[in-house]
Every structure is written in C-alpha cells, then in structure tokens.
C-alpha cells in the first residue's frame, strides 16, 4: 500500500503524536451466549461487505482546481456572491481557492475522525460485555483502519491540500477515548461523531459529482458507516431507561457538550485563517447566513432521531437542540430503519446551482 505523499498533513499544536490516558475495564465473556440476533446479523452483513482499499481506481486523475474553475467560469461565482451574501464578493480565483480549501478541510476532518473511530472501536472490543457486540466491533476496527488508509491516500497523493485536526474535534475525540464508561464510548463515537459524518458524506457526494474517485470512496465508506451507526443504536437500546437520574444527567451533559463542539468545528475558521480572510467577519457570516446555517443543521439529521430512539432526547437535550435549530429532525426514522440521511431538497437545489453555474450537473 505504498503511495506518494505529495502533501503530508499539517501537524496540530499538540505535536506529531498525542497520548490520552484511558482507564477502563476489559471484560471477558465466558458465556458466549450469542443470543442478540440483530447484532449477529449486522456482523454477517459487515463481513460480507468488506472491501479492499487497494482495489480502488487510484490511477484516476484528480484535478479539483480545474473542476472548480470550470464551475466558476460557468457562473458559480455570481450565484455564490448573490445567493449566499458573503462579507464581500469573491473574485473567481478566490472562489476557487475557498471551495478547494473547504473541501480539503472537510476531507481532512473525515480522516481525523476515522482515526478517532479506529481507537474508540478498539476500546469497545475490550469494554463491551456481549460476545456478539465484540464480534461486530472487531469487524468495525478493520473498517476504520481502511477508512483512515483511503482518506490519507486521497489527501496526500491526489488532492495535495490538507488540514490538521480541528481543535474542537480533537477535544471531543480526547473525551471519547479517555472516558471509562463503555456506553459513553458508543454514544460519543457511534451516535454523535459517526452520525454527523454520515450526513456529511452525503454532502460530499452532492458537491463533487464529477470526481469519480471520491464518489467511489464516499459510497463505500457511507455503506460501512451506516452499519456502524446502526450498531451503536442497537447496542445502546434500552440502556438509558435503566439509569439513575444522576447517571442520565451525565449523559445529557455529554450529548449537549459534544453537539456544541461538533457545531463549532463546522464553522471552518481554519480555512479562513489559511486564506487570509478576516476570521471574525467570515465566522459571523458562517453563523448567520441561511445556507451555512442550514448546512450545519442538516448534519445532525441522523443524530437527533437516534437519540430519541435511545431515550436521550430528554427535556434538557430538547431545549438545547431547539436553540440550535435541530429539533426539527426528531421525527425522522432512526438508523435501524433508514440507514442513510437525505439532504433537504432546497439544499440540494442550491448545491446543484453552485456546482453547475445554474445548470444541472453530474
């Protein structure tokens, strides 16, 4: 799996490596009951769906700058400036660089999140009590390693532009892997981080329909992640109804803090810094403009119904989610009923205009 790394990823302030102390119980299951048929079925599905990263068409040329320049020549810049009302009109070249960097930033955070999932799921294998859950978690560890491999290769060999881990994401990953409670590992990674990523993958497919390699990568990973999120829902089903009020309040606190961390990382301040934009001005735009706000809200469209299924959409969490404008997703189907989220039609229409300069594309 050797490949040329034309652009090694930037290193965060914490350095090339970070050690996070994790204290947990390792649980042996000497019963091997294997009675949870839904988890065993998911395990069989995961085994059958395994794919090899080396089999992707890595010889596919990737020239995202050219694709973006073609879009802006077709009028995407005028649509961006008129419909999204940025702090100032961007020139075509600025628009190309902004889109290129936003895309690279998003894919980079996918990579970092996948490494977090790799470590968290390895933890789950040790922590969870049921053997069938250990089976599935072990299968997921291999999935996550493959995801890290493909995103790193795409960013360094093909894209040539990448970002260090976002500080808000890094904080959340640290919390997930350091927490000793097995259900919080599931809740943080399977429900929160991977639930948001699953929705974000769908946006990547919409934004880059004319880049076949990332389409293939994204489709394969979305299939894996849909199973991972469903695994989290099935494994946690019924857990929170049995907890004491104080234990439940701790989970509510975690969900609310994790949601704010994920929301704040989506403001993409690292992109504005790299481009030399006024960070405060552009961050305020990202917070207030309807499109950017709608984009961030849509990424929680799987998290909210999954939390409701688990009994964690409590009055405290509902109040926090109502303030963030994401409570609207509570009546959607959870991940065991509907694995992949569908972006809102108005968001799809606007992205179609932006990528095609007003014409249908892809």
320-345 pLDDT tens trace: 999 998 999 999 888 888 766 666 56
The two structure tokens encoding residue 360: 């249908």
Predicted local distance difference test score (pLDDT) of residue 79: 76
Cα 41 to Cα 142: distance, rounded to the nearest angstrom: 18
pLDDT > 90: percent of the chain: 62
Cβ-proximal residues to 342 (8 Å cutoff; 6+ apart), any chain: 202
Question: What secondary structure letter does DSSP report for 145?
Answer: H
What pLDDT was estimated at residue 161?
A: 92
C-alpha triplet 174, 115, 177: angle, nearest 5°: 30
Q: What is the mean pLDDT of residues 62-90?
A: 85
- In degrees, rounded to 5, the angle at the alpha carbon of residue 170 between the alpha carbons of residues 51 and 316 is 100
pLDDT, position 352: 67
The answer to whether residue 273 sits within a structural domain is yes
- Residue 358's pLDDT band (cuts 50, 70, 90): very low
Residue 93, burial from CB neighbour count under 10 angstroms (0-12, 13-18, 19+)? exposed
245's tokens: 């009020």
Q: How confident is the model at residue 360 (pLDDT cuts 50, 70, 90)?
A: very low
Q: What is the pLDDT of residue 76?
A: 78
Q: How many domains does the chain have?
A: 1
pLDDT value, residue 85: 85
CA angle 213, 139, 186 (to 5 degrees): 100
152: pLDDT strictly greater than 50:
yes
Tell me, yes or no, whether 10 lies in a domain. Answer: no
Residue 30 is classified by DSSP as S
Contacts of 351 (CB under 8 A, 6+ apart): 203, 206, 207
> Does residue 4 form part of some domain?
no
Of 328, 295, 338, 310, the residue nearest 254 (C-alpha)? 310
Assigned token pair, 319: 């109040």
Average pLDDT, stretch 179-204?
Answer: 91
Residue 257's domain is classified under what CATH number? 1.20.1260.10
Q: Could you tell me if residue 22 is inside a domain?
A: no
The candidate with the shortest Cα–Cα distance to 335, out of 255, 223, 251, 239, is 223
Round to whole Å and give the CA distance between 42 and 20: 31
Q: At 52, list the tokens.
A: 């090899």
Q: Take residue 13 and report the two structure tokens written for it.
A: 């302030």
For residues 329 and 313, give the distance between their C-alpha atoms in angstroms, rounded to a whole number.
11
Number of helices and strands (H, E) in the chain?
Answer: 16, 0
Return the pLDDT at 346. Answer: 57
Q: In this predicted model, which residue has the larger pLDDT, 358 or 273?
A: 273
Residue 137 lies in a domain: yes
d(CA 35, CA 287): 47
Rounded Cα distance between 175 and 244, Å, is 22
Place of tokens 């789950």: 124
In a domain, 6, yes or no: no
165 in any annotated domain: yes
29: its two tokens: 């299951």
Is the residue at 97 inside a domain? Answer: yes
What does pTM read for this prediction?
0.90
Q: Which uninterrupted H or E stretch holds 232?
A: helix 212-236
Of the CA atoms within 13 Å of residue 219, those in its CB half-sphere come to 10
Domain range for 198: 37-47+63-356
């Amino acid at each position: 799996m050797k490949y040329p790394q034309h652009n090694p990823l930037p290193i965060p302030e914490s350095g090339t490596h970070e050690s996070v102390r994790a204290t947990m119980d390792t649980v042996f299951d000497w019963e091997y009951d294997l009675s949870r048929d839904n988890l065993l079925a998911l395990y069989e599905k995961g085994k059958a769906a395994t794919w090899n990263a080396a089999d992707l068409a890595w010889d596919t040329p990737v020239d995202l700058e050219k694709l973006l320049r073609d879009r802006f020549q077709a009028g995407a810049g005028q649509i961006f400036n008129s419909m999204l009302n940025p702090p100032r009109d961007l020139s075509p070249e600025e628009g190309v660089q902004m889109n290129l960097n936003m895309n690279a930033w998003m894919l980079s955070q996918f990579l970092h999140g996948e490494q977090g999932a790799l470590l968290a799921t390895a933890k789950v294998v040790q922590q969870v009590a049921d053997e069938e859950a250990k089976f599935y978690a072990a299968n997921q560890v291999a999935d996550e390693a493959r995801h890290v491999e493909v995103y790193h290769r795409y960013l360094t060999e093909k894209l040539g532009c990448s970002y260090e881990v976002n500080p808000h994401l890094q904080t959340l990953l640290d919390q997930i892997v350091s927490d000793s409670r097995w259900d919080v590992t599931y809740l943080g990674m399977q429900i929160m981080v991977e639930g948001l990523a699953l929705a974000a993958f769908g946006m990547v497919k919409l934004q880059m329909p004319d880049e076949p390699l990332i389409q293939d990568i994204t489709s394969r990973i979305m299939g894996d992640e849909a199973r991972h999120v469903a695994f989290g829902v099935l494994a946690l089903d019924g857990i929170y109804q049995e907890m004491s009020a104080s234990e439940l309040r701790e989970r509510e606190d975690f969900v609310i803090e994790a949601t704010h961390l994920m929301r704040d990382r989506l403001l993409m301040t690292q992109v504005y810094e790299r481009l030399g934009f006024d960070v405060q001005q552009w961050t305020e735009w990202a917070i207030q403009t309807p499109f950017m706000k709608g984009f961030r809200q849509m990424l929680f469209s799987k998290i909210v119904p999954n939390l409701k299924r688990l009994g964690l959409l409590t009055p405290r969490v509902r109040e926090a989610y109502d303030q963030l404008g994401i409570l609207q997703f509570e009546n959607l189907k959870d991940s065991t009923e509907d694995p992949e989220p569908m972006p809102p039609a108005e968001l799809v229409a606007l992205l179609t205009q932006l990528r095609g300069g007003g014409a249908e594309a892809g």
